[in-house]
Structure 1
Amino acid sequence: MIHGIRSHEIRVQEQLPTMVPDTSPILSFCIATFNRREMASALVRDILASDQPVEVCIHVDGSTDGTLEELLSIEDSRLTVTSGTNSGSAGSRRVAISKAKGKFIAIYDDDDQIIGQNIPSIIDQLIACTDKSLCGIVVHYVEADGRLHGSPFVRRRTNFLQMRFDDHVKGDKREIVRSEILKPVVEKYYKGARRVPTSLLWYKVALDYDVMCVDQAIGVKCYLPGGLTSAIDSVKKGSPWPMLRHKMTIVAGFLFRRHRSLRAAGRSLLSSVFYCAFAFRQVLTNGK
């Protein structure tokens, strides 16, 4: 009692915000597919057989062999299937990547195979990748007989340009990159294009970010007859603008000291002249 007035203790109960657990996937496998129903569906099923926090985003690029129907028959909330008229590998990959909700993205080919037992350790590596100067990790492919595809990594931390042109790491590797880094690059360089070398994405990322090399394999690399690899020269000539950007990014990487290969920079500069000629010829042809 103070001066005849009873004092009351007023307790204000602070309303704490309800913490909603983050249930978004760690890794999104983004796939473009065209008329490879059996291989595409097998790859999707093998990925989804994992109990890890992964998802699959696959775009059916105008297939006529029942791929879409086969994929839609797979009942799994971690699967996103989109489809449209044939727009080429770049256009269909762009759609698949735009649907990804994972913290990291791996671009997969529909004729590759997954090594499911290695997914948990790959996820652990991604969770441990907290350094914001790193774009993510890069891992291996193996051949069908289990041998390493290409050559081993030379150093633990590098960037994609240094890895290729200073360390001379050969063969296909699987780059797994943070979504917030990769998506803007894909949107900028894949929009409106039918075919873009995926290495253009990695080299653009390499101008600003390093990557951790992990000596594990996530997939088996396959090259089927009739694929892009079997006709790579004609594909490059038919996509001169992306190839020009690709070559100029290698030159920029040298100027920004992201790699030290004068030879790679010089050859890329000469190749730029070659692709410039094809690019302007394409402009003149389309203008007729």
Structure 2
Amino acid sequence: MNSFVLLSICLPVFNRKNEILKFLNSIDFFDNIELIIVDDGSTQNIVELFNKDNKYKFKFKYIKTKNRGRSSAIYDAIRSSSGEYIMIMDSDDYFLPNGIQEIINEIKNNSFIKCFVFGTEILKNGRKIINRPPNSICTNLIKLRADYNVQGDLKEIVKKNFILKCLYEKSYEYRFTPTSLIWSKLSELVACHTVDKCVAVKTYNEKGISALISQVKFENAGAFCDLFRINMNSNLYNSFSFRLKSKVQYYRYLFSSNRIEKITFSNILVFVVGYLLYQTDKIRFKNKKRAH
């Protein structure tokens, strides 16, 4: 096994043993990679998957922590990695055949590039959606979403020395923080190169975080407030509608996180819309059991 690690795959997990097994079995390329698993206090015996028969041919590091949420698990995984490049996967994701090989080849052929963006196949409500970015665009991750209108889950592969500079400093304060916070910060530092190939499958579990995302945002409002503040103030894109939506969402989660800010006359309308959305969230979620 080659000791040099080109790609670290960071995997935060909490239970979902069957899904994790499917993910592990989808890894069909072993050279120059490592898997960093941060077990966020699972009640299932996740480590058994790795100890059994020692059947996996790739390097891996298993870290067990108390249950603090996905946010700190991703933070710990990235900090514990040793690869030149980093990618984040979720426990209900898995790789397409030759997906890792595609990533490794792209990195080796373009070693000067600091951030790659690949497509995913999304499985949701029995439907498969092919979600690929436009090919060979050099842009930034905010502009890709705002001006190129690329939506849905993608797979970002980023040089470790840059992603370390963009980790959310409040990762331990919230159980869930949007990965987009990392990507929005990263946009200030490096350009990304798009590749219109799908390398992984993203599944939406009806009991997962994605199914309860509105409630999750309400419960972790401060992190989303920080995300939308970055996005609405960024000069890295042109889209008026994206900026307007970011402002509305910023005020929505500003109220939820109990922060105070002076409101300018030009922002009164988005302030009011954000406040109304906050009140709707408050009615929907205030007395509900925590989403995660």
Residue 243 of structure 2 corresponds to which residue in structure 1?
Answer: 265
Cα deviation code 1:32-58 (max 9, x no counterpart): 1111112113312432x4133111001
CA distance in 1, matches of 2:7, 2:53: 19
After TM superposition, give the deviation of residue 141 of structure 1 in Å.
Answer: 0.6
Report the secondary structure of 2:42's partner residue.
Answer: coil
Conservation of the 8 A alpha-carbon contact between 1:149 and 1:172: no
Distance across 2 between alignment mates of 1:180 and 1:30: 15
- Residue of structure 2 in register with 1:186 after alignment: 167
Q: Deviations over 1:179-198 (max 9, x none)?
A: 11112322524243311011
Distance apart, 1:154 and its partner CA: 6.3
Query: Which of 67, 71, 82 is equivalent to 1:86?
Result: 67
| Aligned equivalent of 1:4 | none
Whether 2:212 is the aligned partner of 1:231: answer: yes
Identical positions, percent? 23
SS of alignment partner, residue 199 of structure 2: strand
CA distance in 2, matches of 1:83, 1:244: 30
Give the conservation status (yes or no) of the 8 Å contact 2:114–2:190: yes
- Which letter does structure 1 place at the counterpart of 2:115? G
Sort the Cα spacing of 1:74 and 1:259 in 2 relative to 1 into closer, same or farther, 3 A: farther
Contact 2:224 2:253 in 1 (8 A): yes
Gaps of 5+ in 1: 1-21, 282-288
Which amino acid is 1:186 matched to? L
TM-score where L is the length of structure 1: 0.81
**Residue number in structure 2 paired with 1:280:** 258
Q: What is aligned with 1:200? A: 181
Determine the C-alpha separation between the residues in 1 that align with 2:25 and 2:165.
29
Q: 2:22 aligns with which of 42, 46, 56?
A: 42
Give the counterpart of 2:35 among 41, 56, 76. 56
Alignment of 1:96-107 (within 5 A): 96-107=77-88
CA RMSD of aligned residues (A): 2.3
Summarize deviations over 1:215-259 as a string: whole Å, max 9, x none: 111111111111111000010011111101110111222xx2x11
1:83-127 Cα offsets, whole Å, 9 max, x none, are 111111111111211211111111001001112413223112112
**Residue 230 of structure 1 aligns to a residue in which SS?**
helix
Within 2, Cα distance between the matches of 1:168 and 1:98?
Answer: 31
Q: Counterpart of 2:203 in structure 1: which amino acid? A: C
1:7 alignment partner in structure 2: none
Structure 2 residues without counterparts, runs of 5 or longer: 260-292
Matched residue type, 1:61: D
TM-score by length of structure 2 reads 0.80
Alpha-carbon distance between aligned partners in 2 of 1:102 and 1:59, rounded to the nearest angstrom: 16
Inter-partner Cα distance in structure 2 for 1:74 and 1:94: 30
Distance 1:200 1:74 in 2: 39
Q: 3-state SS of the aligned residue for 1:209?
A: coil
Residue 70 of structure 1, CA deviation? 2.4
Q: What is the aligned partner in structure 2 of residue 153 from structure 1?
A: 134
Q: CA deviation at 1:30?
A: 0.3
Work out the CA distance in 1 between the residues paired with 2:134 and 2:172: 32
Compare CA radii of gyration and give the structure with the larger one.
1
Change (3 A) 1:221 1:67: same
Partner in structure 2 of residue 26 of structure 1: 6
